[in-house]
Structure 1
Amino acid sequence: MLKIHVLGAAAGGGFPQWNCNCLHCTAIRSGSPDYRARTQSSIAVSGNHTDWLLFNASPDILQQLREFPALQPARALRDTAIRAVFLIDAQIDHTTGLYMLREHREPLQIWCHAWVREDLTHGNPLFNLLRHYCGVEWHELPLEGDGFAIPAVPGIMFHALPLISNAPPYSPHRDQPQPGDNVGVTLTDLQTGKKLFYAPGLGQMEPHVWAAMQAADCVLVDGTLWRDDEMIALGASRKTSRAMGHLPLSGPGGMLEWLEQLPQRTRKVLIHINNTNPILNERSPERQELTRRGIEVSYDGMEIEL
């Protein structure tokens, strides 16, 4: 049975964000019972509940590991249940945690696209730095074909597909995305045949992405912002949600419209929630709208089994 553990459900900066005094960050710092804190986006998955694949390595990874004991089985003096790391992009909030894994006794088994590897070798030379510690063994993500296995994490078939989002500021592809800068992935449990589609950064719906979502038993997808102009209206940014590479939840062509069209059997879960998003308030009208539509909001420690 495929098991998914949400290590972190927030967008970059976490919730509350350290320097933010928006309505929601202020409320949670004041102890409001209507909110729960979240660390930065990451999940762990396993097909046998022993060997785990880490999807992204957030800056909050040490806290996330402490709060999920299954990733520290303590079978030896130095041990971990993390067998490999899958990077969906090269963003800081999805890769900085690799620095914290530098004490690993073997090279980190990292699966990512060649463009991501390039960004993490040149623009943000994280892979170069890790050579002075544990090292990196890179495996390229194929974006075509019948899928691939990650031998260290048995029981799961993976299908990666390119998404239109945005590359990080230190990438030569910034604002000119290339296939592979950002990927989504379908995970198929080889015993049950159940499928998860995972895409925490999704800026535009394309036919191949929509087909993957329709075929999935559960979608764990981008819920970053409620409105396209959310950050502009708050004075927090000059960019729209779409310009930052995230399909907004509301409005024409927003994520809610797409999720509404999925088969009734599909479990719909949002992840990568920005600190400004009103769905973080569990009593807000926006959160009630999600509940009415049968859409869940992920949280740290949430578990999904397929």
Structure 2
Amino acid sequence: MRIHVLGAGAGGGFPQWNCNCRNCAGLRAGTLKARARTQSSIAIGDDEGHWLLCNASPDILTQLQHFPGAQPARALRDTALAGVLLIDAQIDHSTGLYMLREHREKLALWCTQPVYEDLTQGNPILRLLAHYCSVDWHCLQADGRSFTVPQLPSLRFAAIPLISNAPPYSPHRDRPVPGDNIGLLVEDIRSGGRLFYAPGLGVMQPAVLDAMCSADVVLVDGTCWQDDELIALGISHKTAREMGHLPQSGEQGMLAQLARLPARTRRILIHINNTNPILDEDSAEHAQLRAQGVELAHDCMEFSL
């Protein structure tokens, strides 16, 4: 199994276009030791050169231009993408579907019933795509049962229900239902390698911790360092947890949860908000991550399992 990080930032990317926080201003000025990041999305591939797009961010065209594996160039119009799997219906994970409208056949799409409903009603991307390539929808059951993607038969997937939050245009906003958000457990049946992917994770439930403990690599929510990070900056009135993201710091924060995993587990944070001090590679917070063996995902990062 091969994993290619298309984008590692949270909504808005880094630097965010209208933000002048210390991080964004410092990156623009060249005074901050940090990497720019586009919005969160990954591709999961097999040894045959087929790839499944996991989330489709608004930056998808730029991301694909920097990902040679997506374009095998076997014909005038071609792609190595077997389809798209959405872990939620958030704008930063689904808007890129608009940019895939030129697909020459129905776009294979895996998502849960609540996500499908949000993207046909509150934010009707899928209804719009019916006027272009249309979609071939495969309904995901967020119950941990395994399923396969036809073009990647050596990989086995499972959707793990998560407690996070639905987007503002969803009737489930602040009242999430099972299927609004999932984590993805992926196993290569040849190598036995396992990945757990969850860019939006608000509560560490026992089943989620079990899935993470079974994985060789966890690629999980790195949105905010502190629960009140955006409130303290005057950007939002909501905490990270209220938005559906477990902050890294604190007694029950993400770093404390990652410390519970087996020593062999590779720990990587993704979906990192532009305000998060861990983006500053000279910061005390970034040093704390390194001391605990936790990595930061970056655009074009690749690894195999």
* Residue 292 of structure 1, CA deviation: 0.3
Q: Which amino acid aligns with 1:301?
A: C
Match of 1:265 in 2: 264
**CA offset digits 1:158-178 (Å, max 9, x no partner):** 011110000000000000000
- 1:250–1:49: structure 2 CA closer, same or farther, 3 Å change rule? farther
SS at match of 1:256: helix
Please give the alpha-carbon distance, in whole angstroms, between the structure 2 residues aligned to 1:19 and 1:154. 43
Please give the alpha-carbon distance, in whole angstroms, between the structure 2 residues aligned to 1:146 and 1:118. 21
Match of 1:198 in 2: 197
Match of 2:150 in 1: 151
SS at match of 2:120: helix
Identical columns (%): 63
* Residue 304 of structure 1, CA deviation: 1.5
Please give the alpha-carbon distance, in whole angstroms, between the structure 2 residues aligned to 1:145 and 1:103. 33
SS at match of 2:121: helix
Please give the alpha-carbon distance, in whole angstroms, between the structure 2 residues aligned to 1:138 and 1:61. 20
Q: Which amino acid aligns with 1:235?
A: G
**CA offset digits 1:243-298 (Å, max 9, x no partner):** 00000000121000010111100000000000000000011000000000000000
* Residue 58 of structure 1, CA deviation: 0.2
Please give the alpha-carbon distance, in whole angstroms, between the structure 2 residues aligned to 1:145 and 1:279. 32
Segment of structure 1 superposing worse, 142-151 or 224-233: 142-151
Give yes or no for the alignment of 1:88 onto 2:79.
no
RMSD: 0.8
Native 8 Å contact 1:142 1:160 kept in 2: yes
Structure 1 unaligned segments of length 5 or more: list them: none
Q: TM-score, with normalisation over the residues of structure 2?
A: 0.99
Native 8 Å contact 2:144 2:160 kept in 1: no
Match of 1:120 in 2: 119
Q: Which amino acid aligns with 1:71?
A: A
SS at match of 1:220: strand
**CA offset digits 1:165-220 (Å, max 9, x no partner):** 00000000000000000000100001011110000000001011010011111100
**CA offset digits 1:63-87 (Å, max 9, x no partner):** 0000011101111000011111000
* Residue 135 of structure 1, CA deviation: 0.4
Q: Which amino acid aligns with 1:87?
A: L
Native 8 Å contact 1:48 1:154 kept in 2: no
Native 8 Å contact 1:57 1:97 kept in 2: yes
Please give the alpha-carbon distance, in whole angstroms, between the structure 2 residues aligned to 1:144 and 1:239. 29
Segment of structure 1 superposing worse, 117-126 or 139-148: 139-148
Please give the alpha-carbon distance, in whole angstroms, between the structure 1 residues aligned to 2:186 and 2:48. 15
Native 8 Å contact 2:14 2:24 kept in 1: yes
* Residue 32 of structure 1, CA deviation: 3.0
Structure 1 segments, 4+ long, off by >2 Å, are: 143-146
Matches of residues 205-284 of structure 1 in structure 2 within 5 Å?
A: 205-284=204-283
Matches of residues 3-82 of structure 1 in structure 2 within 5 Å?
A: 3-32=2-31, 34-82=33-81
Native 8 Å contact 2:144 2:159 kept in 1: no
Q: Which amino acid aligns with 1:179?
A: P
How many residues of Structure 1 are paired with residues of Structure 2 in the alignment? 305
SS at match of 2:184: strand
Native 8 Å contact 1:3 1:49 kept in 2: no
Native 8 Å contact 1:34 1:281 kept in 2: yes
Structure 2 unaligned segments of length 5 or more: list them: none
